[in-house]
Structure 1
Amino acid sequence: MAIPDRGLLDWLDEASAERGLYYANRDGDWDFWSYGDLRSLVLRTASALRAHGVGPGDAVALVQRSSPGFVAGFFGALAAGATPCSIAPPFAFQRADEYATHAAHLLATVRPRAVVCDDESLERIRKISADAGLGEPVVFDELVAGAEPLAAPLPLPETALIQFTSGSSGFSRGVRISNEALATNISGMGAWLGCAPEYPAASWLPVHHDMGLVGFLLNVVVTGFDGFMFQPDDFIRSPLNYLRCLSDRRIVMTAMPNFGLSYILRRVRPADLDGLSFDAMRAVIIGAERVDPRVLDDFHALLGPHGLDRGALVPAYGSAEATLAVTGLPPGEGWTTGRPDAGHAASLAGTEVVGCGRPLAGRTVTVVDEDGEALPDGQVGEIIVKGVSLTSGYVGDAGSASGTSIGESGLHTGDAGFLREGQLFVIGRLGDGLKVSGKMVFAESLETLLHQRGIPERRVAVLLGVRDGTPTGVALFAGGRPEWRGIAHEVLAEWLGDAELLSIEVPRGGIAVTSSGKPRRRVLWQEMCAGSFPAEPRPLTAD
């Protein structure tokens, strides 16, 4: 039975000693933290933050992996009347210079009163904090050592979370999420998914990303069901262990981007699943990036013989500025694909688009043209979101190349899509496209075709734009294979008409991505135009 709506700290008043969070450890077992244990740690953390000089309305930056300390840091900041924000730890970035730039920008944006980190992040964060003119960061264990618990939580801050955008169009922006917006989004997800304390869940998603933080961790803790927590690198090392957890623990809910499904497909063979069962699974939430229908088909073909219902695959759409969830497919309904009307078919580069469900309660979604006029079903335009759980504004400079903005007319997402019988179909970023013969072709659509032709995800990025007055399409390969150039030429030449086609080869891992793994397309485009790549662009040919 679903629980009623709850405030962000209501769980502290009824913290269970039987349910809680299980953290995968190096011995192949679990470290269990009951909600009763976490409650005590949260109140100790709140007391320690107050002693550290944190007051109502201050920001607290958390640079930590998924851990009991992160949970206590997040809810402890709220219990101290402060506003938490989660910053990716260094492990999330392959290049040290990129991480330093990223973290320095976020810290300079929020100017936190306290920076709480874990041991492995301390040295890196210490230097970045010093360069930003901030105080010495504190390791979580040292922060709470000897602290007595706060008698009771302080009133919640007006801003309950500063959430960072992905930064795919440049620097991440800090988004102010109010207490009401955060609680409303969590309640909306609970109603959409049918969350209840008796339904266990599992996740490998990083807690610095909104899908892992709001969509999973906060949803689990506030609702009060068991959560089985992996590190992202646990999943990368062995997706089979994660699947075994889903089977052995009778997991009902999990979440991941399209990349996670395709990674499982590359690493797990049908024979590896002997003896496993996924018939308890009600919702595999799929979001954060465009969903490939072939990946959904193949994933169901792999796990379906072991009990996974097709209706358990639940595509969704959301954004940081909407706290997270905007639309979602109800569990059990079964996903579908669609195309826009014939006059807009080129905008999809010939691919079907997976439907991301209908708006959650209290939200409306419209698709508008360049003049802001609502478009009928099947017509491609910008996705506009109105209703509950929208951001109350940005921290600092609201300028961005992303095209996302919020005002009286609602949230202008900067995403292109279309509606069909109330369901939203998302195509890609408006700024990541090129007009060909009067119709838009999107980089994400072309990448989907390249993946379907055998080029793995994270190994190619498509960049589109106008360079020196010439429409241009670029295939950026990371550790590319010779045959990939021919595949890319065939796809890009078909859909980009007379545009100039270029290719750039960088080492594996050389494609700049956000902390959630999305290509930073506009940053990459600017670097290409400025000649900043170590390799020069060359013509993309069929040979």
Structure 2
Amino acid sequence: MSLAEHPPSDGVVPELRPLTTYLFDRAGSVDPAFTQLDYSTERTGVEHTIGWNELATRVRATAAALADVTTRGQRVAVLAKQDLNYVVGFLGALHAGTIAVPLFAPEASQHGDRLVNALADCTPEVWLTGHGTVDTLRGLADEAPVPMPKQIIAVDAIDEKIGDGFQAPSLDLAEPAYLQYTSGSTRTPAGAVITHRAVVSNTWQGGTAFHVDESWTCAGWIPFFHDMGLIQLLTIPVLFGAHSVFMSPFDFIMRPARWLRQMSGYPNVFAAAPNFAFEYAARKVKDADRQDLDLSGVRAVINGSEPVRATTIAGFQEAFGPYGFPASAHRPSYGLAEATVFVTNTREEGPTVTSFDRAALAGDRAVPVPPGTEGALELVAAGKPHAQLVRIVDPHTRTVRADGAVGEVWIHGPNVADGYWRQSGGEIAQRSEDTFGGSLADPPEGTPGARWLCTGDLGVIHDGLLYITGRIKDLIIIDGKNHYPQDIEVTVQEAHPAIRRDHVAAFAVTTESGEEGAAVVAEYHARNGEDELDPAEVTKAVRRAVSAKHDVKLRGFELVRPGSVLRTSSGKIARAATREKFWSDSSGTGTGGA
């Protein structure tokens, strides 16, 4: 029975081997393994392809080069651009028995502080990159407050012959494979310790949940340093023998039509993107760029990493359904770095959208109502787990909640990380215990009592499907009622055309008198210059809409310049950081704007 043919089972993953052993199983094949679509020199793109045989040779050589300068268990940072060097470097670090740290080349991201903080946290002995980035990294090592590595290695300059005769260490599945740094922006960086067992288990879970096999194409642009990009575009192709075709996030943002052409140009496509990308593509891809698309070969496209909206799904289908995109291929899903990535996914039936009574949700109950009901809130199901356990838990009593009751999402399975790096003491140790040390009080029969991952996400099970309702830390509680910030944010962005979609942050505030309330920071469109804006009109429209729809009186509203609302490195709204930037509890007012 092939990897793709294993039947699903509740919380059970078959016996698997370390990831790179599957690469060397294919070392005799010249079939394409990874293809980079490079738009840096040609508008139409240039394909750079590496076959399985060449990939295995280069990975072996990279592992041998690492063995010459560092030892098993040491950290090795991957600081390459989104290219084939990244693939070779990451797999080479795993094959050498070192702990890979997937990060990014300094010029490839605006999140320089995140890079510096992660390097300082894990103190890698070696940095892997491409030859074109070596000088930039030397400058980083000289100028930034990061530990100097023993060596910076350009993986594309390694002599392949040094891998001849290299004997890779025998890897224990319980050993750390890599550190996945989370994308939060307001806390000390935390690297989730992903073991060899966790990465190969979650790769199997994700691949078999979507029925990926060697005839499929894993396509996309999500960065390799992001958990979803790493698993969907790099590890799933290695485990299942699928062809990975990728581009850089920048190339997608510059011309989103490239993503659609990518999905149109290859067979049996498996892709993934956050919700904003579907809206962005539907809005930006021009009619002329759609005419020769054939999306009938798309098998599954994950929509995850941020709240999934029913209007986004409908808009994407309206835009690309006429060009063959199957409605059932849109697969809302849920995951997080601490679970490696994949947790739940929509199956072949496609998206499920359910309307819930808003007032009942405020009281932690999910009561379905007919679509279009006044006061209803549409939620998109994130699907079901595959070979792992998901429970909805009351975080105060640590008891499992019944279906239809909102609580914290807890996860148990071989894909869960071991904890956060450097957990021997202090803040990180406590975060590790709080996050990975969940224990159930009076667990139901057949349910493990300990070692649960406490996600911090709020959710509910309805008709066997998981719905994510928000984040515990972001919840706005007014007069004992729960209000979800993403719900208020949607209302705000629809209240006036001057407000930029998906550039709104809602958060809880406290006034000088101790009253709980909500405040909002929203960007205006760049096309609406300050001279053309009527802040009073926008503010009035927003306050009126929030009051009418949520029965909430805003304590403050800030209308700010484009780019002011902070985001995490994965593109999510950084509500706490935005609140800290624009709001002061001591004064009960914002710091500027409308």
Normalised by the length of structure 2, the TM-score is: 0.82
Q: Deviations over 1:160-213 (max 9, x none)?
A: 121111215533311111111111111111110001001112111111110101
Q: Deviations over 1:445-501 (max 9, x none)?
A: 222334455544443222323354232433223345546544432343345646543
Q: Which residue of 2 aligns with 1:144?
A: 158
Q: Deviations over 1:374-407 (max 9, x none)?
A: 2222222211112221111111242688996111
Q: Which residue of 2 aligns with 1:8?
A: 19
Contact 1:340–1:380 (Cα < 8 Å) also in 2:
no
Contact 1:204–1:230 (Cα < 8 Å) also in 2:
yes
Paired residue secondary structure (1:275) = coil
- Which among 214, 220, 232 is matched to residue 231 of structure 2? 214
- Which among 219, 232, 249 is matched to residue 249 of structure 2? 232
Higher alpha-carbon deviation: 325-334 or 468-477: 468-477
Q: Which residues in structure 2 correspond to 1:42-81 (within 5 Å)?
A: 42-51=59-68, 53-81=69-97
- Pair 91,260 (structure 1): closer, same or farther in 2 beyond 3 Å: farther
Residues 1:105 and 2:117 aligned together? yes
Residues 1:153 and 2:168 aligned together? yes
Q: Which residues in structure 2 correspond to 1:347-426 (within 5 Å)?
A: 350-368=376-394, 370-396=396-422, 397-398=427-428, 405-409=435-439, 410-426=452-468
- Which among 5, 25, 36 is matched to residue 23 of structure 1? 36
Normalised by the length of structure 1, the TM-score is: 0.90
Distance apart, 1:342 and its partner CA:
5.5
Contact 2:282–2:316 (Cα < 8 Å) also in 1:
yes
- Pair 460,411 (structure 1): closer, same or farther in 2 beyond 3 Å: same
Letter in 2 for 1:438: G
Distance apart, 1:293 and its partner CA:
0.6
Contact 1:169–1:402 (Cα < 8 Å) also in 2:
no
Letter in 2 for 1:134: M
Which whole-Å CA distance do the structure 2 matches of 1:517 and 1:92 have between them? 15
Which whole-Å CA distance do the structure 2 matches of 1:76 and 1:43 have between them? 6
Paired residue secondary structure (2:296) = coil
Paired residue secondary structure (2:82) = coil
Contact 1:23–1:31 (Cα < 8 Å) also in 2:
yes
Letter in 2 for 1:205: I
Which whole-Å CA distance do the structure 2 matches of 1:518 and 1:88 have between them? 18
Q: Which residue of 2 aligns with 1:460?
A: 504
Paired residue secondary structure (1:76) = helix
Q: Deviations over 1:110-154 (max 9, x none)?
A: 111112234347536743575223226625247625761152422
Query: How many residues align structurally?
Result: 533
- Pair 404,421 (structure 1): closer, same or farther in 2 beyond 3 Å: farther
Q: Deviations over 1:249-306 (max 9, x none)?
A: 2342100000110110120244531232111111011110000110001111111112
- Which among 143, 146, 149 is matched to residue 135 of structure 1? 149
Contact 2:457–2:468 (Cα < 8 Å) also in 1:
yes
Paired residue secondary structure (2:460) = strand
- Pair 268,203 (structure 1): closer, same or farther in 2 beyond 3 Å: same
Which whole-Å CA distance do the structure 1 matches of 2:81 and 2:377 have between them? 37
Specify every segment of 5 or more residues in structure 1 that has no aligned partner in the other structure, as ranges. none
Over the aligned positions, Cα root-mean-square deviation in angstroms equals: 2.9
Letter in 1 for 2:93: A
Q: Which residue of 2 aligns with 1:511?
A: 565
Paired residue secondary structure (1:448) = helix
Contact 1:461–1:476 (Cα < 8 Å) also in 2:
yes
Paired residue secondary structure (2:149) = coil
- Pair 81,7 (structure 1): closer, same or farther in 2 beyond 3 Å: closer
Contact 2:330–2:350 (Cα < 8 Å) also in 1:
no
Letter in 2 for 1:470: E
Contact 1:50–1:80 (Cα < 8 Å) also in 2:
yes
Higher alpha-carbon deviation: 446-455 or 391-400: 446-455
Paired residue secondary structure (1:405) = helix
Letter in 2 for 1:112: P
- Pair 20,471 (structure 1): closer, same or farther in 2 beyond 3 Å: same
Q: Which residue of 1 aligns with 2:372?
A: none
Higher alpha-carbon deviation: 131-140 or 160-169: 131-140
Distance apart, 1:412 and its partner CA:
0.9
Specify every segment of 5 or more residues in structure 2 that has no aligned partner in the other structure, as ranges. 7-15, 367-374, 440-451
Q: Deviations over 1:207-228 (max 9, x none)?
A: 1110101233211222111111
Q: Which residues in structure 2 correspond to 1:486-525 (within 5 Å)?
A: 486-494=540-548, 497=551, 499-525=553-579
Residues 1:527 and 2:527 aligned together? no
Q: Which residue of 1 aligns with 2:519?
A: 474
Larger radius of gyration: 2
Q: Which residue of 1 aligns with 2:101?
A: 85
